[in-house]
């Protein structure tokens, strides 16, 4: 049997940092598609700290002992789980001070089955069914005998009535209730055409929305798949890089700074700060060490872990991604929330108007006509549909926009802050100089030494060094101890018992106390040539320098010009590189300012200060050290090809290595804002007109329904087709 790992020791650190699991809805209570794995759960027997349930699984959901024990074992306070599927018995041991049998039962009921497709597809299909049914009724009922028309209309409107009743009990009077009331009055008055048209148009609208929602979900899911295709594992005592697909349960997987953890498992050794935002939405990293559970698709921000793989490949990824997408889609924009709130407030208004008209005129026809027109369905639907259409459009332009909220904020941005390496410059650096100072090492040795360490990391500099070593024709790997990565400084390890460091001058000189004074001349010469320098210190001595060049992106100037054209007031550069390089580039690109020599925390501090001062900032970065900054600005934009951390911390991720996409994203966001504002205006004026005319008795219910629903659909279609949104250039 498997023990829930959190049960081994209820260490203080562990219990204060509950890690989420698949279907961890029980903990967050927020996943929109939570629930439904266990349809029946009966408490059979309980004593302090132990409870036995009889359970029943939803048909089609996983029934195996392993899945059940694993998922239930993830719940807060659970120490140990034993499931016995043949007799449907589930024994759970828990920490009584943290939970009890009833709370646990609630949490178990709220679990969703791992790896099942989200409910959106069912929703879409059933809505299509309803739309087809009501459409058929609409067309057929003209030919029906009069006495058959009533039951047909009632039949077609049943789903609507059901939804309205459910709403009425759960949330009070909503637009669904108004719609049902209007349809009901029309049926009561024998106006079946009006009833059928309304039912059909509402059903069609519902289907369209579900369909676009599913499509944009699918796209996001596809785009968010973790990128790691090669994984370091420890086999027979040595670390080897293997295909992600070849990782097996029981493997010892190594995950280091800047990479996504490729498996679900338990930490065997090492220590790291892991960002579990993909799972929990919480972007403050948590410390993970021996005995802790870690989850695939979460990110190692700093440190290094040896992990015993318990779930690998699709098995772990599928569920994770579904969860993540659910979370990000649940993140509603302010506009969307405001529209929904406004819609709610307008419902009683329409109802009041209908009541007043009814009292004044005692004319059922007028009441039904007034009830046909309300603002809320258009208000409620048009905004999210426009956002999703824009997100889908963005996806086709190789821009992944994480949420409606991100898109909305991007439209308001007035300041852009760029990171340098890999963002304004191409992510590809070239090692041009390898200069050895010690006679014991040749220039080739120097490159090979540095590459032996750098091959373990993802950073443009690391990549350049590894490429340079490959380019030597006979790369040689120096056996070294585990590599330590110091963010924004460099890498360190030990070879033959002596410490080796490769990194910035600050790192080597100030942190490691290795003097560079003896080689000041060479350093100055290379810097004068505009080279980015890497210092190699070994055994406390500077043994050499690697000089690299980087190139501005071809379209950097053009993109910045476009951004200014979109109304961006300020364009800045924040870089970890030296001021000399930064100044030259800033002058070349005519930036409004720059800050150089920054550590990641300093980038965030600067951004926070600017946000506090009222700037609306988008930060564009690519590296793993950019993750904090990406979440520090209103909108974080991650370049393609950057570290996983950047991609997952970002609100907008570019899927092509093209800086121009930043301007495209901004153009799209602004166009979306215009589209939504236009829709607002249309909805308000059209429906006010309809309401007024209906109240004055100028519109029959059929006409009101056609006008209202027709215009609502037209507005939805306008949103859906993204009218006015820029197409992929």
Ligand X SMILES: Nc1ncnc2c1ncn2[C@@H]1O[C@H](COP(=O)(O)OP(=O)(O)OP(=O)(O)O)[C@@H](O)[C@H]1O
Residue 335, binding choice from ligand X, Zn ion, none, Cβ under 5 to 8 Å by partner class: none
Beta-carbon contacts of residue 319 (< 8 Å; ≥ 6 apart): 22, 23, 114, 115
Site string for ligand X, 168-207 (x = CB under 6 A): ----------------------------------------
Of these residues, 123, 292, 419, 622, which one is catalytic? 419
Sole binder of ligand X in the list 576, 642, 695, 701 (CB under 6 A): 576
DSSP notation for 355-402: HHHHHHH--HHHHHHHHH--SHHHHHHHHHHHHHHHHHHHHHTTEEE-
3-state secondary structure of 69: helix
Sole binder of ligand X in the list 357, 502, 630, 676 (CB under 6 A): 502
Counting contacts by CB under 5 A, is residue 20 touching Zn ion?
no
Cα–Cα separations (whole angstroms), residue 517 to 191, 505, 523 = 94, 11, 9
Q: Which stretch binds ligand X (CB under 6 A): 86-94, 297-305, 310-318, 502-510?
A: 502-510
CB of 590 to ligand X, least distance (A): 18
Between 511 and 541, whose beta carbon lies closer to ligand X? 511
d(CA 42, CA 54): 5
- Dihedral over alpha carbons 244, 247, 251, 257 (to 10 degrees): 10
Counting contacts by CB under 6 A, is residue 433 touching ligand X?
no
3-state secondary structure of 618: strand
Pairing relation of β-strands 252-256 and 230-235? antiparallel
Q: Which stretch binds Zn ion (CB under 5 A): 83-91, 93-101, 167-175, 451-459?
A: 451-459
Nearest position to ligand X, beta carbon: 576
Counting contacts by CB under 6 A, is residue 461 touching ligand X?
yes
Q: Which residues are 398's β-sheet partners?
A: none
Site string for Zn ion, 281-300 (x = CB under 5 A): --------------------
Q: Which residues are 264's β-sheet partners?
A: 311
Both tokens of 349, joined, read: 């208004």
d(CA 410, CA 563): 12
Counting contacts by CB under 6 A, is residue 419 touching ligand X?
yes
Between 293 and 456, whose beta carbon lies closer to Zn ion? 456
Pairing relation of β-strands 617-621 and 635-638? parallel
419 an active-site residue? yes
CB of 453 to Zn ion, least distance (A): 6
Residue 332, binding choice from Zn ion, ligand X, none, Cβ under 5 to 8 Å by partner class: none
Residue 454, binding choice from ligand X, Zn ion, none, Cβ under 5 to 8 Å by partner class: ligand X
Q: Using CB under 6 A, which residues numbered 479 to 498 contact ligand X?
A: 488-491
Site string for ligand X, 534-563 (x = CB under 6 A): x-----------------------------
Burial status of residue 421 (CB atoms within 10 A of its CB: 0-12, 13-18, 19 or more): buried
Beta-carbon contacts of residue 402 (< 8 Å; ≥ 6 apart): 220, 328, 331, 650, 651, 652, 653
571 φ/ψ angles, rounded to the nearest 5 degrees: -125, 120
Q: Which stretch binds ligand X (CB under 6 A): 34-42, 263-271, 337-345, 574-582?
A: 574-582
Sole binder of ligand X in the list 67, 260, 298, 421 (CB under 6 A): 421
d(CA 394, CA 399): 5
CB of 89 to Zn ion, least distance (A): 50
- Which residues would be at the binding site for ligand X (CB under 6 A)? 419-421, 454, 457, 459, 461-462, 488-491, 502-504, 534, 575-577, 623, 625
Binding site for Zn ion (CB under 5 A): 452
Q: Catalytic residue numbers?
A: 419
């Amino acid at each position: 049997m498997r023990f829930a790992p959190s049960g081994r020791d209820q260490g203080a650190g562990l219990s204060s940092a509950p890690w989420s699991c698949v279907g961890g809805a029980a903990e967050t209570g927020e996943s929109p598609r939570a629930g439904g794995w266990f349809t029946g759960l009966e408490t059979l027997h309980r004593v302090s700290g132990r409870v036995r349930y009889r359970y029943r699984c939803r048909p089609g959901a996983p029934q195996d002992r392993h899945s059940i024990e694993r998922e239930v074992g993830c719940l807060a306070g659970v120490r140990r789980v034993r499931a016995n599927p043949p007799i449907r018995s589930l024994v759970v041991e828990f920490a009584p001070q943290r939970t009890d049998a009833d709370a646990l039962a609630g949490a178990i009921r709220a679990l969703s089955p791992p790896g099942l497709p989200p409910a959106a597809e069912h929703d879409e299909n059933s809505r299509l069914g309803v739309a087809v049914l009501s459409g058929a009724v609409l067309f057929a009922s003209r030919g029906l005998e009069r006495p058959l028309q009533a039951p047909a209309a009632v039949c077609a409107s049943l789903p609507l009535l059901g939804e309205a009743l459910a709403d009425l009990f759960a949330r009070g009077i909503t637009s669904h209730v108004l719609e049902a009331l209007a349809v009901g009055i029309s049926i009561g008055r024998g106006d079946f055409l009006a009833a059928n048209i309304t039912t059909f148009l509402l059903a069609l609208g519902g289907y369209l929305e579900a369909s676009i929602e599913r499509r944009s979900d699918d796209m996001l899911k596809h785009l968010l798949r973790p990128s790691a295709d090669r994984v370091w594992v420890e086999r027979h005592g040595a670390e080897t890089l293997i295909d992600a697909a070849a990782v097996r349960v029981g493997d010892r997987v190594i995950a280091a700074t800047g990479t996504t953890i490729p498996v679900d498992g338990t930490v065997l050794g090492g220590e790291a700060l892991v960002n579990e935002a993909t799972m929990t939405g919480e972007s403050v990293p948590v410390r993970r060490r021996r005995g802790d559970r870690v989850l695939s698709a979460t990110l190692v921000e700093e440190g290094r872990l040896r992990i015993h793989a318990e779930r690998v490949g699709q098995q772990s990824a599928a569920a994770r991604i579904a969860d993540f997408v659910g979370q990000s889609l649940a993140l509603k924009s302010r506009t969307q929330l405001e529209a929904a709130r406004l819609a709610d407030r307008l419902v009683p208004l329409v109802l009041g108007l209908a009541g007043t008209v009814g009292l004044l005129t005692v004319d059922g026809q007028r009441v039904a006509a007034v009830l046909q027109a309300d603002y809320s369905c258009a208000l409620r639907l048009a905004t999210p549909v426009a956002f999703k259409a824009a997100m889908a459009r963005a996806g086709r332009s190789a821009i992944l926009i994480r949420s409606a909220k991100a898109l909305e904020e991007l439209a308001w941005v007035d300041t852009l802050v760029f990171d340098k390496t890999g963002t304004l410059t191409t992510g590809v650096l070239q090692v041009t100089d390898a200069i050895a100072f010690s006679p014991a090492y040749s220039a080739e040795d120097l490159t090979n030494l540095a590459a032996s360490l750098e091959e373990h990391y993802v950073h443009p500099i690391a990549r350049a060094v590894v490429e340079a070593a490959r380019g030597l024709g006979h790369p040689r790997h120096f056996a070294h101890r585990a590599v330590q990565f110091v963010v924004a400084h460099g890498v360190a390890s030990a070879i033959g018992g002596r410490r080796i460091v490769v990194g910035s001058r600050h790192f080597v000189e100030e942190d490691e106390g290795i003097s560079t004074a003896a080689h000041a001349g060479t350093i100055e010469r290379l810097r004068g040539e505009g080279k980015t320098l890497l210092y190699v210190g070994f055994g406390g001595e500077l043994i050499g320098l690697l000089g690299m060049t980087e190139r501005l992106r071809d379209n950097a100037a053009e993109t910045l010009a476009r951004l200014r054209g979109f109304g961006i007031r300020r364009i800045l550069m924040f870089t970890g590189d030296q001021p000399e390089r930064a100044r030259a580039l800033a002058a070349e690109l005519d930036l409004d300012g720059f800050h150089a020599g920054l550590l990641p925390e300093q980038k965030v501090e600067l951004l926070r200060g600017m946000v506090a001062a009222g700037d609306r900032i988008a930060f564009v970065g690519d590296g793993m050290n950019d993750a904090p900054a990406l979440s520090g600005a209103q909108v974080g934009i991650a370049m393609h090809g950057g570290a996983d951390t950047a991609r997952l911390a970002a609100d907008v991720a570019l899927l092509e290595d093209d800086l121009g996409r930043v301007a495209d994203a901004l153009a799209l966001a602004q166009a979306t804002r215009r589209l939504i504002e236009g829709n607002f205006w249309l909805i308000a004026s059209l429906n006010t007109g309809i309401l007024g005319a209906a109240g004055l008795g100028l519109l029959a219910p059929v006409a009101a329904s056609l006008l209202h629903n027709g215009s609502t659909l037209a507005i939805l279609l306008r949103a859906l087709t993204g009218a006015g949104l820029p197409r992929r250039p």
